[in-house]
Chain A
Amino acid sequence: MAILRKVKKKIKDAVSKKKKIVSAKKISPRRAKKEISLATVKEIPGMHELVAQRIKFFTPQSPAAPRMLEELPGSFGQDKIILQVRDPRWLHTYWEVTGASFERLQHQLGQAFYSAKRILRVYDVTDLIFKGNNAHRFFDIEVGSQANNWYIDTNGPGRSWCVDYGLLLPDGRFIMIVRSNIVQTPLDGPSWITDEEWMIPEDMFARLYGMGFGFGKSSPVGKAWKERLLSSPGIASMASPVRKAKERKFWLMVNTELIVYGATEPDAKVTIQGKPLKLRPDGTFSLRFALPDGRQVIPVEATSADELETRTITPIVTKETKSHSNLRERAQA
């Protein structure tokens, strides 16, 4: 009994660990591998700051919960795997398996449970009713016990896919835990199927095809799309064209402004360079000017409310700018 309890605890630990740790996976650029027929997945180290937030998911809810949950739950307590299409070649899948299900499996499998690998089995189920054993082909991806989502390179545009998450035992048996929905990847070139009534000769279609992508009139079928992918500008509403990178980032900007301020009787009329200005209720005023190089003559004239007396004060400001720059070679240490 004690051994069993220990084992149970071990499983629980493993499961809760899985909830807390989420591995971030990214994939290699799509053109990196042309010839691959089976899937491979690459991991790029370094997590985005967002992914880190997922680590905090698991918050148990007491019955007397506050008005609103504080954090997103780490799991929903169900066995489930969802598959979705990213592009003609790549799929994305995420899954969740409850601790109870793992416990049940441990009971059934005994020691073999611990040497089993967690895998995704990816089936090509194009044009068939999938019964679990009639796929055109399948391939496995070992995902480790801590992963809960994965990008799958199918290298198979225009085909249907289904994924099982389960255990691969040392003797080669596969125990399916959850099976995904079926998805279809889009074609990455024109269809081979033509419609008799709307048929078009190949060379003419090639022209239209190239023109549709804005690559002139003689682009071979399929090529225009690849050219577009290569030159994809990353169209997006809130993005802006890239600023050119400078070789050295150092820079200096200096501007000058001039503040002219003063005070007079609150009911006086004041002009500056002949243009009237508005006094504050206490008779003070303040104006701010961008100050270019050169000489500025700035007569400030105040006229008393009874228009009998006028006073003028004229600041004269001269500005000149010198600049000097020096780029040294870094000293050898």
Chain B
Amino acid sequence: MNKGYLCIVLHTHLPFVRHPEHEDFLEEEWLYEAITETYIPLIEVFERLVNDKVDFRVTMSLTPSLISMLSDGLLQERYLKHINQLIELAHKEVERTRWQGEFHALALMYLHNFSRARDTFERYRRNLVTAFKGFQDLGKIEIVTCGATHGYFPLMDICRESVRAQVKVAVSHYEKTFGRRPNGIWLPECGYHPGHDEILKEAGLRYFFGDAHGVLHGTPRPKYGVFAPVYCKSGVACFGRDLESSKQVWSSIEGYPGDYYYREFYRDIGFDLDYEYIKPYIHPDGIRVNTGIKYYRITGSDNKQPYNAHMAWEKAAEHAGNFMYNRERQVEYLYDFMQKKPMIVSPYDAELYGHWWYEGPMWLEFLMRKIHFDQKTIRMITPTEYLLENPRNQVLTPSMSSWGWKGYSEMWLQGSNDWIYRYLHQSSARMTELAKSHSQNHCNGVVKRALNQALRELLLAQSSDWAFIMGTGTHVSYAVKRTKDHILRFTTLYEQIKSGSIDENWLRDIEYKDNIFPDIDYRVHQ
């Protein structure tokens, strides 16, 4: 009999970046890299586990903006072009490294991986969402939703109509995509503000995740800490994050990904090789970018040694064993102490796996195999399964919290990005005004289209990613431009709707550019 549960959560998100007006767009690479390095490797891990009849559970949030990009024809087309380019480069690398055995073996590995990625991509008819849906239908993974465009809810509290729109648009998008209603939600940035659970309840959601201090500093005190979910007064459950298991993977100092045998992220041939040679495979403007071909391991000194895939796999297996051992001890201790089976919730950004920590998907696979075959103390579970088995839980109000820098809102509210809220809040208020004044469904086609587009623009402006990027200081000008563009488009629509003079050609143009959520209904913004 098991003594506790482990719930691995992979938060899978990228902001909506799609620029049909440009042939090549630097920031679209975020998606292509994540597909090759994270999404496809994860799908392949799940496939192998299913084929080998390993029972496993993973909870994944696939954000509506990511789903929209993964199922977009233009981006699929562009990904294919991207991966074909990579395969061509890998072929050249196989030739170029002929006299350097270690590198030659790695070039062959990349050629093999890229070719397989293309096969997997084609196998799912270029829409990777169907792959994840398949694993959900098999009962192996549970997919939860997220804010429609990953807006950071605590800083939207002044206009809860927008929180409601973020949630409701996401839920109906989920239903359309997966053919059922979502049970849970990953609050963007794990950002909870007391009272927002009411909105989740309205949308039919049964649980969300909170950071550890959100639950631990809840009122009244949580009897089981973060090791059992709690109910908010609305009856929506909150699962608290366990920081011990998080740290083992996340920490830049003691975390697994920093092991010297693992692949070095920063040594990419896009930067290392001769400019003329690499030019066709970097940005057309000649900006050097990551190609994904990296030949070195972290090493621990500046004199980087060539990567050895076999040794890295051994390490990943060892680390998976270490993680499992630690969870077993943690669960045993807590079980004795709580007189109840503890629930360990370990959420991670999915893009950490593969993209940043190259061996991450492999580690996950080893971990799930080991848990299945080698022990009986812990059982992998999804939140929905847990609540079915453990319906009685304490009622409390978690405190405002996020999983961002310092645990609250500072990442998204600091000198570099605080200017945006004046505009975001004003636009939210205006959207509410529009939704109210057009609450009857008899507005004509163009007005309705304009209203729906206005909500799309507002949602796109609200992505927490823009404030985040401004806060970190890389790609800043793009994040500023996106924020401004969407607010300006929203404002223009607002004024045109109010004055009854909608410029239909212009509307068509932005509908084509910002084509997210085709079935949106502006009336959810109430």
- Binary flags per residue of B415-454, CB closer than 8 Å to A gives 1, else 0: 1111101110110000000000000000000000000000
Nearest B residue to A189 by beta-carbon distance? Answer: B217
Residues of A within 8 A of B99 (CB): 289-292, 296
Q: Which residues does chain B contribute within 8 Å of A70, judged by CB atoms?
A: 488
Query: Across the interface, do A289 and B419 meet the contact criterion of CB distance under 8 Å?
Result: no
Residues of A within 8 A of B72 (CB): none
Give the interface segment out of A33-41, A126-134, A205-213. Answer: A205-213
* Contact call B157/A288, Cβ cutoff below 8 A: no
Of B13, B252, B258, chain A has the most CB atoms within 10 Å of the CB of B252
Chain A residues near B396 (CB, 8 Å)? Answer: 195
Beta-carbon contact of A87 and B506 below 8 Å: no
**Complex CA–CA separation, A236 to B220 (angstroms):** 30
Which of A50, A194, A255, A289 makes the CB contact (< 8 A) with B95? A289
Q: How far is the CB of B212 from chain A (nearest CB, A)?
A: 5
A1 within 8 A of B: no
Flag whether A262 is at the interface (Cβ < 8 A): no
Chain B stretch 261-303: residues in CB contact (< 8 A) with chain A? 265-266, 274, 277, 302
Q: CB distance B418 to A94 under 8 Å? A: yes
> Does B227 count as interface, using CB distance less than 8 angstroms?
yes
Given contacts A87-B407, A87-B409, A212-B240, contact A187 B217 (CB under 8 A): yes
Tell me whether A86 and B225 are in contact in the complex, defined as CB-CB below 8 angstroms, given that A193-B219, A288-B96 are known contacts: no
Say whether B302 contacts A84, CB under 8 Å: no
Given A213-B243, A214-B242, is A76 in contact with B426 using a C-beta cutoff of 8 Å? Answer: yes
Number of interface residues of A (CB under 8 A): 86
**Chain A, 173-213, CB within 8 A of any chain B CB:** 181, 183-191, 193-195, 198-200, 204-205, 207-209, 211-213
Q: Please pick, from A25, A199, A237, A273, the residue contacting B351 in the complex, using a CB distance under 8 A.
A: A237
A67 interface hit (Cβ, 8 Å): yes
Binds A, one of B47-55, B197-205, B398-406: B398-406
Measured in the bound complex, the distance between the Cα atoms of B464 and A236 in whole Å is 12
Residue in A24, A54, A88, A191 whose beta carbon sits within 8 Å of that of B218 in the complex: A191
Q: Is B468 an interface residue (CB 8 A)?
A: yes
Q: B127 to chain A: closest CB distance in Å?
A: 23
Report yes or no: A214 in contact with B492, Cβ–Cβ below 8 A. no
Residues of chain B within 8 A of A50, CB atoms compared: 416-417, 419, 470, 476, 480
A255 smallest CB distance to B (angstroms)? 8
Does A290 lie within 8 Å of B224, measured CB to CB? no
Q: Give B contacts to A, CB under 8 Å.
A: 13, 92, 95-100, 103, 154-155, 157-158, 194, 212-213, 215-227, 240, 242-247, 250-253, 257-258, 265-266, 274, 277, 302, 330, 333-334, 337-338, 349, 351-352, 356, 394-396, 399-401, 403-411, 413-419, 421-423, 425-426, 465, 468-470, 472, 474, 476, 480, 484, 487-489, 491-492, 495, 503, 506
CB pairs A–B below 8 angstroms (15 shown): A49-B476, A54-B419, A67-B506, A85-B409, A94-B422, A96-B422, A186-B217, A186-B401, A191-B219, A195-B223, A209-B216, A212-B212, A237-B13, A246-B302, A289-B95
